[in-house]
A and B are shown apart, each in its own frame.
Chain A
Amino acid sequence: MAYNLPVETAKGKIREVTIGTGEKSLKVGGENVLPFHLWEGEMPNRPIIAAEVSDEVEELPPALEKVLGDVKNDPVAWAKKAQDEWGVDAIALVLTSTDPKATDAPPEQAAETVAKVADAVNIPVFVYGTEDLDKDAEVMKAVASKVEGKNVVLGPAKEENHKTIGAAAIGYKQDVAAMTPIDVNLAKQLNILLTNLGMEADKLIIDPTTGALGYGLEYTYSVMERLKIAALYQDDTMTQMPLLANIGFQSWKTKEAKSSEEEYPQWGDPEKRGIMWETITAASLLMAGADILILRHPESIKLIKQLIGDLSS
């Protein structure tokens, strides 16, 4: 007798969130199964990859310098390269220049950059601040109005500044990525606060905070998994948002990814090491249920794209 895979059907379904508008738009989420359990239901949209683009770069590890050196000071060129050469699904523009601890660029200037990048590419855009509560609120307000009608994702909105960012997103019809510190309940609470503010639930994305391999990956994994289980099997409507994993920034900041061969000869080729650190983090979180993966290195992007393809076929 043939073996039948046991099938557990879920009650709930992840909301389908549209990012961008018209031709430039795409959908994330929509699945009613745990990651790639395609025999139990459907994943109408594959997890997407967004390339991280920064509006200001200090120093890059050599492995990244090699592939980004030519575009690192030009976010528009960087975004176009990511779109045209690496074939990513979206751009994640990080407004590093606005960090009050560094350049502290004014919100209007940052908003200008966002508009340029969004105009230059024909894929959707995520806009991230620097996790400075007050500055991010100001910046996102400026960005929201500047790119009105483009339906970008503004983030990260946290409990302390969700009102300002949420209000800007509602006013100018943008999406929001809501970020909470690795806790299922806190993620859900912030979604409730944002929806009570008047935000539509299917314009929300959960950023549960990412820990890279060796730096808390297992916590992020567990939280993502539990959010997905609550969303699907307990039909918990306030956890049914697509999940975002901010992998590039977190994994390239680790000692293991950025140290040179001279510092740690026993660790082998730093380029391969950095790429693998990012790729393994991404592959793991893909299994945990991430719907959006923000990555940095084109090689990691290529590997993860391939993995998503393999798992979806």
Chain B
Amino acid sequence: MEESVRILFLPENRYIMAKPGENLLKAAMNADVHINASCGGSGSCGKCRVVIEKGEVKREPNLKLSEADIAKGYALACQTTAWSDLEVRIPLESRIGDKRIFERKVPEPVYGHLLSATDWEERLPEWELDPATQKIHIVMDPPTLDDNTSDADRVKRSLSMEAGMKDVVIDYPVLQRLPNMLRQSGWDVTVTVLDQGEELRAVRIEQGDTTARQSGIAIDVGTTTISAELIDLKTGEVVASASDYNAQVAFGEDVITRIIYATKGTGLAKLQSVVVGTIWNLIKTLVEKADIEYCNITHIVVAGNTTMTHLLLGLNPKYIREEPYIPSATSFPWIKASDIGLRIAAGVYLYAIPCVASYVGGDITAGVLASGIFNTDKMTLYIDIGTNGEMVLGNKDWLLACSCSAGPAFEGGGVRHGMRATRGAIEQVRINKSNYEPMIITVDHHKPIGICGSGLIDTLAELFLAGIINEKGKFNLDLPTDRVRKTDTGAEYVLVWAEDSATRRDIVITEVDIDNLMRAKAAVYAGIEVLLSSVDLDVSAIDELLIAGAFGRYLEIDKAVTLGLLPDIGYEKIKFVGNGSLLGAHLAALSREMLSKTKEIANTMTYLELSMNPSFMEKYVSALFIPHTHLDDFPRVREQLEEVRREQRMAGQA
């Protein structure tokens, strides 16, 4: 018998048998235990810390792990192999985070305005409930020797007479069921007809009248989070909603690592089945919450970025990553949900909202739809900030989009103590300008574990306002506080002392973290400037700035402006969209008109490739400064700074 070791993961209390020498990250993945790992197992991110409580392991030497850490039993899962039976504890900072986060109520922002239901009505006046699938109840006369047309033609004839639907194509599985179904039901059936745009297709046949029961599902397939809604297609109301982490996170946190995984061996099939698994669980939750039957569901609309859409549909994403960055497709036909392994009920079709380019996906198209940009005279800038900062500029006449690689910093990646916005993540920070002491608030007021995106923006802006870092993001080491200190790897600021943190480690923000954040914010702002300047406009031309996405939802606008991440155009022009991708999918699920608008939007949107743009680099360098090299473009921040510096001088003299 072959030798094997038993690896037990805590606190999950789940074990797996493996060969000696098995990599711990791999073992965790096989055991379906999540450990944060953003670098794909290369040992460069240092996020996959685990504690070896029992057993013998070999650690590859790694700079992310100190001698003291090793003494305490810490190891990096991806750099460690198992050589005996093990007990491995996943510490707080390496866990995916609490799922209760998804039930969190979105706070009302201090600055900026959260778009509400009334705003939507105003933005999309022509919108009406008219979904792509329709249930038609037909009662036919049985055939006779005189009326001896085929079953299929009889159904078609009825659909034409009852609903004015000409030339309906009958789906093959429906055709197979037709003769028995018609006779069993006494020629009284409900046919679900899908309007695919080019043709009408009968996708399901049921006995009797089931028209009262019809639901659709809208899904936002995010790189990190998947959110879904169950919509009653008779009333247009959302009857249930649910969110969960995209289980693909275990295979890399960003789209690039997923693409790499997908191009190896059976990686694509694996990633597809994993995301379908997450979606299936969400649908199950929705159906249970709403207490309906699976067969009420007649169609699904999904919106995701180009890579997520590819992975869900099982399309090869390889060339998205390689110059000249070509996706397999940007628009997708209605497909059978069962074709991607989503077996909900017979004849459920799925529509993926069209993408624009490799790095501007269906989530953005959906957001543009939902926020009504295509419908307004106002010059609107729509920004969705995540790993990529995607942005759209325009109005009802034209739309221009670009995507800039902000890196994972805003989602906590590439930042020593960065993390997602889950329990224990520091999300709000204030720093006293005379004694440099911080005041922090964490998600759920839990003991701090790390810092999430909005917390990082706050920290940076506050460090700057307090004069702890300068315009270049470099620390002032001459301040009378022990929170600013110099280490072998550079200067850092201690936000939380070890004794106050949930991880028993000092939570710090380092100069390297700050550099990464500066690059991220500079890339976003430079993207905004390139978009504007390519149509000969500047920030003053923006009538409305819409912020979408999870990061944006909790962002403190004033801090983001102080930092120069967002333009200084006045808070009253800034509005939060929330999950624009889900909203767009929702609208498209409810209305054929809105669904066809997504195609129109994706087609009208001009994509600007920043890597080709000669002025991007210059704008980027000028944005690598807080708030910006051209302070004149940030008049309100300038005033604020003058005020703060004056107060500090007065306090210094007193």
Contact = CB atoms under 8 A, between A and B. Distances in A.
Interface of A: 159, 183-186, 188-189, 192-193, 196, 236
B470 A196 contact: yes
Contacts of B629: 185, 188-189, 192
B471 A193 contact: yes
B618 A184 contact: yes
A183, A184, A189 — most chain B CB neighbours (10 Å): A189
19 contacts: A159-B472, A183-B621, A185-B629, A186-B621, A188-B622, A188-B629, A189-B471, A189-B472, A189-B625, A189-B629, A192-B471, A192-B625, A192-B629, A192-B631, A193-B470, A193-B471, A193-B472, A196-B471, A236-B632
Interface of B: 470-472, 618, 621-622, 624-625, 629-632
The 5 A-B residue pairs with the shortest CB-CB distance, nearest first, are A185-B622, A185-B621, A185-B629, A189-B625, A188-B629
Contacts of B631: 192
Contacts of B622: 185, 188
Contacts of B618: 184-185
Contacts, number: 27
Contacts of A189: 471-472, 625, 629
Chain B interface mostly:
loop
Contacts of B470: 193, 196
B87 to A, nearest CB: 48
A123 B202 CA distance: 95
Contacts of A193: 470-472
A189 B630 CA distance: 9
Nearest to B478: A163
Contacts of A188: 622, 629
A192 B470 CA distance: 10
B469 to A, nearest CB: 12
Contacts of B630: 236
A299 B470 CA distance: 45
Contacts of A184: 618
A186 B624 CA distance: 9
A203 B625 CA distance: 23
Contacts of A192: 471, 625, 629, 631
Contacts of B471: 189, 192-193, 196
Nearest to A188: B629
Nearest to B630: A236
Chain A interface mostly:
helix
B622 to A, nearest CB: 4
Given A159-B472, A185-B621, A196-B471, 11 more contacts: A185-B618, A185-B622, A185-B624, A186-B621, A189-B625, A192-B631, A193-B470, A193-B471, A193-B472, A236-B630, A236-B632
A24 to B, nearest CB: 35
Nearest to A160: B474
A189 to B, nearest CB: 5
A170 B370 CA distance: 56
Contacts of A196: 470-471
B472, B618, B625, B629 — most chain A CB neighbours (10 Å): B629
B518 to A, nearest CB: 12
B1 to A, nearest CB: 63
A159 B625 CA distance: 12
A184, A185, A196 — most chain B CB neighbours (10 Å): A185
A72 to B, nearest CB: 40
A186 B620 CA distance: 11
B619 to A, nearest CB: 9
A183 B621 CA distance: 9
Nearest to A192: B471
A76 B622 CA distance: 43
Nearest to A159: B472
Nearest to B641: A196
Contacts of A159: 472
B472, B618, B621 — most chain A CB neighbours (10 Å): B472
Contacts of B621: 183, 185-186
A187 to B, nearest CB: 10
A313 to B, nearest CB: 37
A36 B629 CA distance: 29
A107 to B, nearest CB: 21
A185 B629 CA distance: 7
Contacts of B632: 236
A236 B625 CA distance: 16
A249 B58 CA distance: 56
A183 B624 CA distance: 13
A189 B518 CA distance: 14
A123 B471 CA distance: 37
B92 to A, nearest CB: 38
Contacts of A185: 618, 621-622, 624-625, 629
Nearest to B621: A185
A183 B629 CA distance: 12
Contacts of A186: 621
A159 B473 CA distance: 12
A196 B624 CA distance: 17
Nearest to A235: B632
A225 to B, nearest CB: 14
B633 to A, nearest CB: 11
A193 B473 CA distance: 11
B183 to A, nearest CB: 79
Nearest to A226: B618
Nearest to B620: A185
B199 to A, nearest CB: 56
A192 B471 CA distance: 9
B644 to A, nearest CB: 12
Nearest to B645: A196
A196 B467 CA distance: 11
A254 B638 CA distance: 45
A186 B625 CA distance: 9
A190 to B, nearest CB: 9
A184 B618 CA distance: 9
A241 B585 CA distance: 55
A313 B197 CA distance: 76
B374 to A, nearest CB: 35
A193 B464 CA distance: 13
B641 to A, nearest CB: 10
Contacts of B625: 185, 189, 192
Nearest to A191: B629
A184 B631 CA distance: 15
A196 B641 CA distance: 11
A246 B632 CA distance: 31
Contacts of B624: 185
A126 B471 CA distance: 28
B208 to A, nearest CB: 72
Nearest to A230: B630
A188 B621 CA distance: 11
A236 B629 CA distance: 11
A231 to B, nearest CB: 13
